[in-house]
A and B are shown apart, each in its own frame.
Chain A
Amino acid sequence: MSRPDSAPPPQANPPVRHGPRVPGPVETVVFAWRWLRRMRTALYLLGVLGLLSIVATLVPQRPNVPGTVAAWRAGTEGPGRFVSGLIDAIGGYDVYGSRLFLIVLVLLFTSLTACLIPRYRALWRLRRAVPPRSRDLSVHPEQASIETAAPPEEALAVAQGVLTEDRWKLRPDDADAPSQVAAERGLLLREGGSLLFHTSFYVLLVAIVAGQLIGFSGQVAIVEGEQWADAPVGYWTYRPGRLWSEADHRGFVLGLERFEVEWTDDAQPILFRSTVEVTEADGTTSTETVGSNDPLLVDGMKVLQLDWGYAARVVVAADGEIVHDAFVPMTATETAGLWHGAVKAPALDPDLGLDLLFLASAPEGLNGPEPTGAPWLEEPALLFDVYRGDLRFDRVQNVNALDTTAMELVAQTYLRENQALELDGSVRVAFPEIRRWVAFQISDRPTAPVLLVAAGLILLGLLPALYAYRRRVWVAVTTDLELGRTVVSLAGRSFQRPEAFSGEFAEIVETLRQRLGTPSTGGEGEPRPARETEVVPR
């Protein structure tokens, strides 16, 4: 017997060589959409996002530590100028503000959208899916059989009842095979949970981006006994989102009544608490406290205690006229018990600048104040370097530091609280009082409730997505003519977590056995796994 010759005749279809084809715009879009629709693509993009954030973890970021970045760029710190240039080329000093990060984020959003839409459609179709019948019950991992005196139709009806009570989805009766019940469960819950999880993650990302656009965050320092009003000009640092407008400020007033700080004996801070007087935009006044983990909500804006320091009142008078009288907020330095600040008095000619060092605890020793390093007040001393010259107000100024490039150091001295001294005859400097200042962060995050809900839904979706399992059960009946009994066969298959399904299947069998009035005999009717091998759950 010879085979029919099915081979094509030679050169029947000579290969046509096309030149390099340029895909059209529609084709490109379709191709891109298909690429983005793959789960793998979304995972790759998430991976790239992860890699970028590793870079941001290891490389100093300009918005957080501008000083360190400047040092890396200059080559005085970090891996040197060459590597630094490479980092700069990929935008490594501001990863989260870089174009690459934006592109990856946009692609990830598109990819997640492209992944989710077809799954929603599939879930909608799944709603109406009918559990399939099984031709051969003996192929399934879970098996059991029950003998009963009840007629076959009744046995099937009872089985349907048991499964319906247990909220199984049954195959509707049809004329073809009245001798079998097919039921399914868990698919909607598992797939629905997974979709809820992924959708919530998507919403979370959208809310984060939206929050950065319409939100606001700013910082302000208030000295004890002073007041501050929420207005664009009042902030030390001002970080509005792109879509934040100055009219969005509420205009409430904060007055810092007092600030408490407590330390252990070895100077570990254990308590920071501010007592503030709040005057809301509508004029209502109340006294509140702001603690370390205890922010305050005023007119929908969050007031959070960030930092604190000492504020020395420094009065500078020249020829009897006061040219500077204010509390100078001083920031903590790396040395324990030492704070730093600056006074700038451009009203004098030449300009006067004071570079201040504040020692919180410095009892008088043989050679003047001897700092103990403790952060609490104990014979505090205000050390200052007096500079005369040009304060260089033509340059960008740092509030807490002097630009001494055009100034000359004329004196170095110190004052105790309530002391004053004369400098070169006409200038008088006094240190009448020490207080504290507290830095507050004032922020408005309108999408925060959305984030909270999305976070909750992520968890809510995750549990069924991981633990719900899709399983099917079949019940068939045959009549044993010799004994005149009905044999009910059950079979079950689980697509995930077979170990959990085994127990559930046994329970179904037991319930059915009781309903059919068959005593639990052990032996024949016992549910038994079809195979002895260990089953691997997905």
Chain B
Amino acid sequence: MTAAELSETLFSPVTVVLYGLAMAAYLYAMAFTRVDRAEGDAAVAGVRGQRIATTLAIAGLATHLGHLVARSVASGGRVPWGNMFEYSSVMAFGVVLAGVVVFQWRLKRPEVVGFLILGGLLTMGAAALVWSEPGPLVAILQSHWLKIHVFAIMAAATIFTVAFIFNGLFLLRDTAERRVARAQEAKLTGSTVGAAYDATATEVADPVTQATEGRRNPDDLEAVDHDRLYGDALRAAINPLWLFLGTWVGTATIAWTFWYAGDVNRFFTVNTAMALAALVAWRLVHRLPSAATLDSLTYRTISFGFPVWTFAVLAGAIWAEQSWGRYWGWDPKETSAFLTWIGYAAYLHARATRGMRGRGAAWIGIGAFWILMFTYFTVNLVVTGLHSYAGLQ
């Protein structure tokens, strides 16, 4: 078996299957894990599921790393980020790695890891759509700046992808929480009859219960009952059909690129995959951390990615000065990278502005990620410019 074949096999099916199983195990464990974080008690159930999930994820990361190394060997020993397939693959690796190392181990948020692996799998799917054979680099890419600039861009894009997952989950959870709260308010102010029996009413009124939702002692049957009712209410607050259609149409604003560069099947595949991912999140909306937590995770992730992106764009300008003889030429890729920077800068400014916090800022964050995807897929596959290294024929 040659290095190229080995690399391909390790990518798919090996890593894809391992990630898929890990994701399923994480999502499964979410439904059973009830840990009171403040007390620090061990999980009552689902600990085993989580352990299996972690093991599978680490195994997947190992085979993914193997794939990248084999790819590097097959390409003549260069860094494995020279074309679009490789960037996507490295980014998927980064998303899953961040999930396990940063969010599970460091920030103790195992409940978001399943969704990060789902994001990693979707990124791998996108990579498979722009598959290209391993080979040496074109002359202009042979520079130390390749390692610096491209690595920084990939790292920032990975961080922004993680942030986008949190941002999407935030919007979903926030919408559900708001709708439930509004429904309760209407019910309580409209008529007091039945309010005493309405288990969800107390849940909504009390922010403490809301924040620690899903992590209480299961021996307390009443609490479980409250949880279940509130969870049902959250799920019922979102219409899955609209969510599916909204995600489908939203994704289509970028995915037409795959139609343009490939065929109509890819377009439908990408949209449907994203819309199905949204349905998975909807199904588990009651197991998600609170909207406030997700909002905070989004902000922290973006404010970590922003300096990295800034550095990457500046490093790109330095490389362009050396390689093309001008630091900035409004090449389509340069322009859209700058637009991405503006998008995320707008998010950070929105967060700093009192009136814009929460949903307003979150939608700006979604817009910024849209520009990032435009920069990555549309500019690479549709617009011709100096950055045409997608590696596609």
Contact = CB atoms under 8 A, between A and B. Distances in A.
Interface residues of B, number: 55
29 contacts: A46-B346, A53-B330, A53-B339, A57-B336, A57-B379, A57-B383, A208-B328, A268-B135, A268-B138, A269-B138, A270-B139, A292-B143, A293-B145, A293-B322, A295-B325, A304-B325, A448-B327, A455-B314, A458-B314, A459-B314, A533-B207, A534-B211, A534-B296, A537-B296, A537-B299, A537-B300, A538-B299, A538-B351, A538-B352
Contacts of B325: 217, 295, 302, 304, 306, 441, 443
Interface stretch (B7-15, B116-124, B305-313): B305-313
Interface stretch (B54-62, B232-240, B287-295): B287-295
A107 to B, nearest CB: 16
Given A451-B327, A532-B208, A534-B292, A293 B307 contact: no
Interface residues of A, number: 48
B269 interface: no
B185 interface: no
A54 B293 contact: no
A272 interface: yes
A532 B346 CA distance: 32
Contacts of B336: 54, 57
Interface string A21-58: 00000000000000000010001001101100110111
A89 interface: no
A537 B383 CA distance: 40
A293 B38 contact: no
Interface in A302-328: 302, 304, 306
B338 A50 contact: yes
A536 interface: yes
Contact of A532 (B38, B321, B357): B38
Interface in A453-489: 455, 458-459, 462-463, 466-467
A281 B317 CA distance: 30
Contacts of A295: 322, 325
Interface in A94-112: 96
Contacts of B306: 462, 466
B48 interface: no
Contacts, number: 118
B335 interface: yes
Given A47-B346, A270-B142, A466 B379 contact: no
A504 interface: no
A294 interface: yes
Interface string B132-155: 000111111011010000000000
Nearest to B338: A53
Contacts of B303: 466-467
Contacts of B46: none
Contacts of A534: 211, 290, 292-293, 296
Contact of A459 (B310, B318, B345, B357): B310
A292 B142 contact: yes
A373 to B, nearest CB: 15
Q: List the 3 closest A-B pairs by CB distance, nearest first.
A: A293-B143, A304-B325, A441-B325
Contact of B139 (A43, A272, A445, A448): A272
Contacts of A243: none
A264 B326 CA distance: 28
Interface string B329-342: 01010011011001
B353 A39 contact: yes
B203 to A, nearest CB: 14
B349 interface: yes
Contacts of A96: 330
A271 interface: yes
Contacts of B342: 46-47, 49-50
B112 to A, nearest CB: 14
A306 to B, nearest CB: 7
Contacts of B38: 532
B253 interface: no
Contacts of A43: 346, 349
Contacts of A208: 328
A20 to B, nearest CB: 32
